[in-house]
Structure 1
Amino acid sequence: MKMAADTRTHFQGQGSESHGPRVLESLGSEHSTSSHSNHDPEHPYNWPVSRKWTLTILAAFTTFISMMNGTIITVAHFDISEQFNVDETQFPHSYWPVTTWAIGGACSALFILPLAEDFGTRPVFLTTYVLFLCFLVPQAVAQNFATLVVTRFFAGGCVSVLANTAAGVVGNVWETEWARSIPVSLYIVGYMAGSSAGPVVGAVIFQFLSWRWIGYLQLIWFGALFPVYYFFFYESRADVILARRPMSKEDTEQRSGPASSLSLKGLITSATRPVVLFCTEPVLFVSTLWSSFTVGTLFLFTQSVEQVFMDLYDWSVEETGYVQAAVVIGEILGWTLNFLSRKLYFASASRNTETPGAPIPEARLYMAVVGGVLGISGGMFVYAWTSYPYIPWIAPAISLAMVGAGSVLVVTGVSDYVVDAYSMYAGSAIGAVATGENLFSAFLPLATMSMYHTLGLNWASTLLGFISLVLALLPTLMFVWGREVRARSTFMQSGKQDMNVRKEGVV
């Protein structure tokens, strides 16, 4: 995973810093449309709704199937370990191909995605897609374990670019915050459900074929889909579209603003600012831990579900893959609850005394807290204390769905809140969150075997439930002191002022 470059853009080509994977809202998009862009049929904001939804659904689907690559081989780890003589008695060494995949995703976005600012989303996406196809080949034909570990690092980097470029499409074609809310949630559920669905799809392939066919079939279906992307993944960056056509007087005016550029200084800034923010901003620190632990927990299930269901019910490894479909079902249910979150957020504008008429940023967290407490924490407690052989398997399976539903609410709420609170610095803030998610996804599951063996099935999940509960309750402090905290934050206030200046400049 549901990983940082500029996916927020607007027609004037303004924008400076590198932005994170889920920063889907255009920089000042709701105020940056000039009279030219309002009437320009080539501007993505003015595309027919059918074309917008075609590209949005394609982007969400792309994210879903590409994210499956991260976890799809986890169900085959016994056969892979046996064939390559990997010792798993004391440590889950077979998970290293997933760990390097997540690390590759964390590294690539900082340095590759800024290319989309200058060259557009389409060429970057298609080029990366072809590279990804190339890295699927050694995943299928690997003759040693090191090949899997190394090539999946680069595959994870490609997936990060594909998913984040797809994310940028949403911000590029939907103008208002209200219009973007559903497309954004579709992207996020695709991002998270893809990772959770990986073991399910992998189990089907592995049961009837072999672990190598997991790679072969991915190569087949990604190859078959390439023509679809080639013909229907349109360029959606307005400034790139503008630059490709003959200049008129209005175009000259549009291009008169400062243009984005790719430079060593810009790359260094994009790589270091998230660290500075993470270390100096308590709100971002807690948000990053909360979202990262949530995403890491989903990856942890690829290990713990196997231990729990094989120990309690003597299931096969394929069956433990199938039961993880409960997580995906929960994530879809969590997505439907985002409609309520959307309603609560926009309704908060009527009681905002800080900025009358604008929604309160902390309103983004209402359903996230509910999802964290009842979904993730509650689900982990149920998962812990239904882990007995005399309790039907459906009980812990329901708990997996609870965690899945809560995870979508948490990740969506945190992402949206960080964007609202940090304004012009939202990209760097989301970059910190995304990097944390990748690191937790990479390393938290490595502790699963030892933790569940040492603490037992009940108390290991209970420990995770308590950690989730603490992380979910901490943000409730922002409901009371959110305004004061934002007023004391240098980055929040500076980002807000820069946004206001940009609004005034455009208007």
Structure 2
Amino acid sequence: MNLPPRQRSPLNLIRPDGPRPNATMFNSYNNILNTTALKFAATHPGTKAMVFDTFSFLSSVLDNPASYGITNTTNYCPNYDAPDIDTNYAAYGCQPIPEYFWYNTGHITYHTHEILAKELADSSMTEAEKTPQASSSLDILEVALAPEMPATHAEEKDLERQGGTGTVPPLKWNGANDPDNPLNWSKRKKNLHVFTPALISFSATLGSSLIAPSLPFLSHTFHVSSTVAILPLSTYVLALALGPLLAAPLSESLGRKPVYLISVPLGCLFTLGCGFSQNMWSLCILRFFAGMAYSPALAIGAGSIADCFTAERRASPSAWYIMSPFLGPALGPVIGSFVTVRKSWRWTQWTLIFFSIFAFLPLLLTSETLHSRILKRRAKSLDQLLPPSPPLAAKIHLLLTVTLLRPIHMLFTEPIVAFLSLYVAFNFSVLFSFFAAFPFVFETVYSFDTEQSGLVFLAIGIGCFLAILTVLLCDRYLYQPLVERSHDKGNSGIVAPEYRLYPAMLGSFGLPVGLFWFAWSAREGVHWIVPVIGAVPFAWGNLSVFIASANYLIDTYQASTGASALAANGLLRYILGAVFPLFTLQMYENLGTSWATSLLAFIVVAMLPVPWVLWIWGKQIRSGSAYDTIKA
């Protein structure tokens, strides 16, 4: 139960003594709410613009109130005008939460800013209908859905056909144990929906590095420089940065499974064309579109897992899923080196198709996981009247302002997002620079052939497994006890997000250790296994920092803007990952292995304090955010 504001004077779009709205009225109010909210959010950073169709939104709150922080759905917070309510809320059975939703005797309220209240009032009500809006400390608007209005003649026909009573029936689960709810699926079925997105994500990122051992062959085949030969790798990685920005909103509209079903075959077609390319530019263009097609799994895989697991049960499946996009780049050179030598560089592309088909097959056994799509599909099968959808203009506006512009805005205005994203992106870029550096170093110093150089990347895979183990141990023995303690104190398991940073603080030391180790051991007179081992702590630190940072961003910005924070992180990560390989060879040729790698290590050392600074001063930094952040 949230703590309601004092001196509340609700603005009711429908008068309390008026009739309950029907579908026609909901359509009108949806247009007003969506258009005005998006217009307001576009000019006021930090505002949470919620675009929704009314019944679908209200049903989602009623079906799973706990996900909105509602722990008591029976009545309003009692005595909310008590003098000590702000400091002694627990005594009144209240819990303050970031989202201001609650349910009481059949109606839902939601809050936005006071300025939006005036705009909504001016655009939707006559002067006689306007209710004065009293200012409050939270600057909110309450929109209440009140008594019933008779349906139109056409709507009455529809409702008679389905046994309705004059209102659009809410789309909701049939109780907490509804078997159609992905949260209630069997463990085996849930695991299938973790394994499948992970396998597709692995294939998508495998495609980035599978071509890495072929770079000298591309240079020879197309008569281009070694730098130009890297472009097919860079264009693919760049596409992995841009594709998720479009895939995420598509999945929320069409559902998760249709996006998977369309994207993987499309990626296979573009990859097939890559293998038949007759010049460098056609290869680069087709690689870019292949990356765009494969990229949705990187954006919506985490959403599929969130659909199937509650927050308390999500750590382990999320960790295994997150590992897959890191294993792909690590194992790509291993596979690609053997394919290139024993077949040709063209077969590296066709090999990706085989992996994609293997990942696609279990997808045929999966089900849709997006809750709203499942409910709508079930309602349609039962011949129920579906809630109205937001207008197309509102959807496009949401895509532009929230999905595309907000991540960029956060990247430049939010210190937490900016520094964590830069830290993670640089580490990730060093990993991608290894695609050019490892073959150069081991072929120059140790006279490795292409296949032997590819096997070196197995060290990266070992480091990734160690990172997953670290994250799981930190969650089990450091974070979960804090969650249990919070439950015992009646705080609903809320824990300060800084406690998510344990793996990042540990991993921050592994990054420079691994780089300096590699830098000064890769030389004549030192066995080749020594620099190979040095790659392990780097890979361990890299993935540990990434997972901890992702958890920290989600916990800090929560559902409202957490996805945008992660999108900003991913955008910068893959853009830098696309750029770094382009100058890696020149850097190693001019500086030498020791100083080129040491330069990267020194930069990593300079960034090492980032998780530690957030651990110490994270709460103060969060309090100055323009966006809504957790108050723990």
TM-score scaled by length of structure 2: 0.69
More helix by share: 1
One-letter identity of the residue aligned with 2:379: P
Structure 2 residue 122 is matched with structure 1 residue 122: no
Is contact 2:214–2:345 with CA below 8 Å preserved after alignment? yes
Residue 42 of structure 1 corresponds to which residue in structure 2?
Answer: 180
Residue 20 of structure 1 corresponds to which residue in structure 2?
Answer: none
Is contact 1:13–1:259 with CA below 8 Å preserved after alignment? no
3-state SS of 1:388 partner: coil
Q: How does 1:305-320 map to 2 (within 5 A)?
A: 305-320=438-453
Residue 503 of structure 1 corresponds to which residue in structure 2?
Answer: none
Aligned CA-pair RMSD: 2.9
Residue 195 of structure 1 corresponds to which residue in structure 2?
Answer: 329
Sort the Cα spacing of 1:473 and 1:36 in 2 relative to 1 into closer, same or farther, 3 A. Answer: same
Residue 197 of structure 2 corresponds to which residue in structure 1?
Answer: 59
One-letter identity of the residue aligned with 1:132: G
Greater displacement, 348-357 / 44-53: 348-357
Residue 239 of structure 1 corresponds to which residue in structure 2?
Answer: 372
Sort the Cα spacing of 1:256 and 1:485 in 2 relative to 1 into closer, same or farther, 3 A. Answer: farther
Residue 76 of structure 1 corresponds to which residue in structure 2?
Answer: 214
Report the CA distance between 1:225 and its aligned residue.
Answer: 4.8
Report the CA distance between 1:133 and its aligned residue.
Answer: 1.2
Q: Which has the higher contact order (CA 8 A, sep 6+)?
A: 1
Residue 235 of structure 2 corresponds to which residue in structure 1?
Answer: 100
Sort the Cα spacing of 1:144 and 1:28 in 2 relative to 1 into closer, same or farther, 3 A. Answer: farther
Report the CA distance between 1:299 and its aligned residue.
Answer: 0.7
Based on CA coordinates, which of the two structures has the bigger radius of gyration? 2
Sort the Cα spacing of 1:165 and 1:114 in 2 relative to 1 into closer, same or farther, 3 A. Answer: same
Residue 577 of structure 2 corresponds to which residue in structure 1?
Answer: 441
Whole-angstrom CA distance in 1 between matches of 2:491 and 2:625 = 17
Q: How does 1:399-414 map to 2 (within 5 A)?
A: 399-414=534-549
Q: What is the number of residues matched between the two proteins?
A: 468
Sort the Cα spacing of 1:131 and 1:361 in 2 relative to 1 into closer, same or farther, 3 A. Answer: same
Residue 181 of structure 1 corresponds to which residue in structure 2?
Answer: 315
Report the CA distance between 1:355 and its aligned residue.
Answer: 6.4
3-state SS of 1:266 partner: helix
Give CA-to-partner distance per residue, 1:226-265, whole Å, 9 cap, x none.
34322x132111110110113699x98xx87997977221
Whole-angstrom CA distance in 2 between matches of 1:118 and 1:83 = 44
Moved over 6 A (4+): 32-35, 255-262, 351-356
Report the CA distance between 1:399 and its aligned residue.
Answer: 1.0
Give CA-to-partner distance per residue, 1:182-238, whole Å, 9 cap, x none.
1111111111111111111111212221111112232234335534322x1321111
Structure 2 residue 465 is matched with structure 1 residue 332: yes
3-state SS of 2:224 partner: coil
The percentage of counterpart residues that share the same residue type is: 27
3-state SS of 1:38 partner: coil
Whole-angstrom CA distance in 2 between matches of 1:413 and 1:71 = 25
Sort the Cα spacing of 1:354 and 1:147 in 2 relative to 1 into closer, same or farther, 3 A. Answer: farther
Is contact 2:555–2:630 with CA below 8 Å preserved after alignment? no
2:612 aligns with one of 457, 468, 476:
476
TM-score scaled by length of structure 1: 0.86
Report the CA distance between 1:368 and its aligned residue.
Answer: 0.8
3-state SS of 1:370 partner: helix
Residue 304 of structure 1 corresponds to which residue in structure 2?
Answer: 437
1:265 aligns with one of 377, 388, 397:
397
1:363 aligns with one of 499, 503, 514:
499
One-letter identity of the residue aligned with 2:469: T
Report the CA distance between 1:323 and its aligned residue.
Answer: 0.8
Give CA-to-partner distance per residue, 1:25-51, whole Å, 9 cap, x none.
x99747589874512110100111110
Residue 390 of structure 1 corresponds to which residue in structure 2?
Answer: 525
Is contact 1:14–1:258 with CA below 8 Å preserved after alignment? no
Whole-angstrom CA distance in 1 between matches of 2:391 and 2:464 = 36
Whole-angstrom CA distance in 1 between matches of 2:542 and 2:570 = 15
Show structure 1 runs of 5+ residues with no match: 1-8, 16-25, 501-507
Show structure 2 runs of 5+ residues with no match: 1-51, 59-63, 72-171
